[in-house]
Amino acid sequence: MEILEVSTAFVFPWHGDDLEEIVAQQAASPLFFSPTHRKFIGSLYRRIGRSSISTFTRNFEENIMAQISVNMRGGNVNSGNITNSFNKYFCMSDEDALIMRWLSPLEPNNRHQSVRTDRFDGVGDWFLETSEFREWRDSEGGADGAVLFSSGNPGVGKTYLR
C-alpha cells in the first residue's frame, strides 16, 4: 500500500482583526441555520465580542446547543430548517437515537460544524488542486494510494483544509 505524503506549509489566516469578517460570514451562512438562529448567532457574537478565538468557539457551540434544545422544547420543531448536527437525534425514533449513542459516544459532527463555520473561504484550496489529492480521490479502487497523509506543524491549518 502506497502512502502519499503532502506537507502542508500554509498559515491559517487568523488575526484578531479578522474576527468581524468571520462573524459576518457565519451569520450570513444560509446552510445550517434558520433565519431565527442566524439572528441569534449574530446577537451572540455581539455579546461575546472579541474574546479569544479558542474559548470563543467553545462558548459558541455550547450556547447554540443550549439554545436549540430550548427551542425544540418550546415547540419550534416545525420550522423544519434547523438541520445542523446538534439536533439530529430529535428527528430520530428513540431507539435509533439510542443505537447511535450505543455505537459511540463521540460526536464528530459537532466539531465539524464548528470547524466549517470558523473556516475562511478559500483556505487550503490550493491543496485540493494538487495532483496528490486528485489522484487519491479519483483512483479507481485498489489499496494502493488509499491513504493520504497530510502532515504539518501545529496551527498550520490542516484541520481547516476545505
Partner 1 sequence: MIDRLCDQAGDEDVAVTGLYCDFLAQQEQTVTNMIGAILKQLVGRGDIPKEVREAFQKAKKEFGGRGLLLAEMMGMLRIALASLSQVFICIDALDECLPKHLPQLLESLRDIVRESPRTRIFLTGRPHVAGGNSKILHQGGRDTGQS
Q: Which is nearer to partner 1, 38 or 116 (CB)?
A: 116
The least distance separating partner 1 from the CB of residue 3, rounded to whole angstroms, comes to 5
Cell numbers at residue 7, please? 506537507
Calpha distance 153→156 (Å, rounded): 6
Q: Is 141 in the site for partner 1 (CB under 8 A)?
A: yes
N- to C-terminal Cα separation, the chain: 26
Nearer to partner 1, 78 or 104 (CB): 104
Residues between 54 and 93 that touch partner 1 (CB under 8 A): 88
**Residue for grid cell 449513542:** 101
Least distance to partner 1, CB of residue 133, Å: 9
Any long-range contacts for 80-87 (C-beta under 8 Å, 24+ apart)? Answer: 81/34, 82/33, 82/34, 82/37, 83/32, 84/32, 84/33, 84/113, 85/109, 85/110, 85/112, 85/113, 86/110, 86/113
For partner 1, the closer CB: 25 or 36: 25
CA distance 32 to 138: 28
Copy the grid coordinates of residue 16.
Answer: 484578531
Nearer of residues 77 and 146 to partner 1, judged by Cβ: 146
Q: How far apart are CB 128 and partner 1 at their closest, in Å?
A: 6
* From 20, 43, 50, 152, residue interacting with partner 1 (rule: CB under 8 A): 152
Q: Considering only residues 91-120, where is the footprint of partner 1 by CB under 8 A?
A: 95-96, 98-100, 102-109, 111-112, 115-116
Residue ranges that bind partner 1, judged by CB under 8 A? 1-3, 5, 7-8, 88, 95-96, 98-100, 102-109, 111-112, 115-116, 124, 128, 136-137, 139-144, 146-154, 158-159, 161-162
